[in-house]
Structure 1
Amino acid sequence: MPKTSGIKIGRLLVEALLIVIGLLFLVPFYFLLVNSVKTFGEILSSSAALPSSLHFSNYAEAWESINFPSAFGNSLLVTIVSNALLLLISSMAAYQMVRNNSLFNRILFGLLVSAMVIPFQSIMLPLMEISNVLSLNNSIPGLILCYLGFGAPLSVFLFHGFIKTVPIEIEQAARVDGSNRYGVFFRVVLPLLQPMIITVLILNTLWIWNDYLLPSLILTDPDKRTIPIATYTLFGQYTKQWDLALPALVLGILPIVIFFLALQKYVVSGIAAGAVKG
């Protein structure tokens, strides 16, 4: 058998294996979508089977039960503001660290990278104590501030690697034309960071939108609940309202799935570009 034929067969086998693995990852979505239009009894008796009839009224009941408009608005507000602050502050911090390679900046960057490996569970209790002292509990701004602190290390790390690929001659030319340091950053450097901005935006959005643990620690007022917290209210100690929880989950993940599919092509290219000299 020719060598090229063997390579083609091997490639086909690898592709077939990847397709099978991809289908396995889609199995949870099948159970989610199929059972979201079943009655509670049918979910318990035959969760893997197709529904005998479609109960789209589950979505209307879930919408009302978790007060979806309020939860959606809270999640949207937290995600947008947190992302805006993370993108601005992290890009500026990374730019300063790269262009001013002092000992202090090198130590600060090392501390930020080190913070990425600290498990969140190990600092939950100190976080709650600090939140009480600073009156951040049960506060949307307090939650946003926490996301800013926990999201900065990864964001700075990605921007730091990408900014190293930006030719410094472009900045020098802008300064010759009369731009100050801020003008160089906002008019020259920031537009060149677009691939990494989109990458950081996607990664942080997926994390913040789907996060349950941090909002559950900070927010206690029902009117301030995000979508994961609101959905969890359907799971009690003795009862689990699967016929409402599954539609609520679909409503919660649908916006983020659309967002990710629209921008996912930038993720790999942005991370690869930032890793060239990172």
Structure 2
Amino acid sequence: MNTAHSGGVTVGKIITYLFLTLLTVIFIGPLLFILMNSFKGRFFISDAPFAFPVGQYFAGVTNYVQGLAATGFFSAFGWSAFITVFSVIIIVFFAAMTAYYITRVKTWWTNLIYLVLVFSMVVPFQMVMFPTVKIADSLGLANPLGMILLYLGFGAGLSVFIFSGFIKGIPVDVEEAAMIDGCGPLRNYFLVVLPMLKPVTITVSILMTMWVWNDYLLPYLVIGLSTPYKTIPVVVQQLVGSHGSNDMGAMMAMLVLAIIPIVVFYLFSQKYIIEGVVAGAVKG
């Protein structure tokens, strides 16, 4: 009995390790493919995409130099960082307060607000992108500050949903005790509730950061190519020419530079994603 049990556990572990190894290859493979091809000559990328960058294939840092010169990468990096940082701050600040209010104040219209925000999560962006661009042009939002407001609108649904699930698990007794001690609504929220939202706040911040940093379609549609406010995905796409004139080497190099900040950020923050999501799901 013990032998069979031990054998079963061993087989189960082997299957688990094999499955996790397969997932690792599936997720890390494309990143390694891009990194490998960023050091190869542009003509060898299509001829031998899976060959290692050695010998005649190796192009050194030529692709990086050409990509930086052709795209204005550092300017795009600055605008991407500006839009991402302030978008995430605004989303977290307003979504947390909204979620707290609609969770604690139970009326028909707070329930309606919650349902509308949740419904916005399932509406495809393609259904609203043309009205969004039209409204953005009419209101003068084709700039970094306008992009921050647009990201607030598109990111509010998921953020409020996650915050609400977490707040439902916070005992009301804690807030009532603070009110007895003299805390008003604002002090109660900022001094009592907000510190307890740290795990889910980090989770929402990570998810929103990865989304805003990598987003291509919204900046392309709203800001466009003729302004100095282009973000990294937009300038990388400019390397795609017509009639087969794509500079794949420079594109791969710029993709590596674009990926590095978000990968480093994720590696330092990944443990909080699972903690926050699981806490919100269980408490909700």
Alignment of 1:11-50 (within 5 A): 11-50=13-52
1:54 CA displacement: 4.8
Alignment of 1:209-224 (within 5 A): 209-220=213-224, 221-224=226-229
The reply to whether residue 254 of structure 1 matches residue 254 of structure 2 is no
| 2:283 alignment counterpart | 277
Residue among 97, 117, 120 paired with 2:125 = 120
| 1:191 alignment counterpart | 195
Give the Cα separation in 1 of the matches to 2:145 and 2:26: 39
| 1:177 alignment counterpart | 181
Q: Which moved more, 1:264-273 or 1:42-51?
A: 42-51
1:20 CA displacement: 2.1
| 1:69 alignment counterpart | 74
* Alignment coverage as a number of residue pairs: 277
| 2:162 alignment counterpart | 158
1:206 CA displacement: 0.6
1:175 CA displacement: 1.4
Cα deviations by residue, 1:3-41 (Å, 9 ceiling, x for unpaired): 231232122122212212321322211210111011112
> Which amino acid counterpart does residue 16 of structure 1 have in structure 2?
L
> Which amino acid counterpart does residue 109 of structure 1 have in structure 2?
Y
> Which amino acid counterpart does residue 171 of structure 1 have in structure 2?
E
Give the Cα separation in 1 of the matches to 2:112 and 2:26: 44
Gaps of 5+ in 2: none
| 2:91 alignment counterpart | 86
| 1:263 alignment counterpart | 269
The reply to whether residue 141 of structure 1 matches residue 158 of structure 2 is no
Q: Which moved more, 1:12-21 or 1:193-202?
A: 12-21
> Which amino acid counterpart does residue 112 of structure 2 have in structure 1?
I
The reply to whether residue 109 of structure 1 matches residue 114 of structure 2 is yes
- The 8 Å contact of residues 166 and 280 in structure 2, kept in 1 or not, is answered as yes
Give the Cα separation in 2 of the matches to 1:93 and 1:196: 14
Cα deviations by residue, 1:180-229 (Å, 9 ceiling, x for unpaired): 11111111111110000000001001100000000011112341000000
| 1:99 alignment counterpart | 104
Cα deviations by residue, 1:35-86 (Å, 9 ceiling, x for unpaired): 1011112223211111123512321221222111110110001001111110
Identity %: 39
Cα deviations by residue, 1:142-174 (Å, 9 ceiling, x for unpaired): 111110000000000000010111111111121
> Which amino acid counterpart does residue 4 of structure 1 have in structure 2?
S
| 1:56 alignment counterpart | 61
Give the Cα separation in 1 of the matches to 2:185 and 2:126: 40
- The 8 Å contact of residues 137 and 222 in structure 2, kept in 1 or not, is answered as no
The structure 1 segments of at least 4 consecutive aligned residues displaced by more than 6 Å after TM superposition are none
Give the Cα separation in 2 of the matches to 1:188 and 1:64: 51
Gaps of 5+ in 1: none
RMSD across aligned positions (CA): 1.3
> Which amino acid counterpart does residue 41 of structure 1 have in structure 2?
F
Report SS of the residue matched to 2:228.
helix
The reply to whether residue 6 of structure 1 matches residue 12 of structure 2 is no
Give the Cα separation in 1 of the matches to 2:46 and 2:280: 48
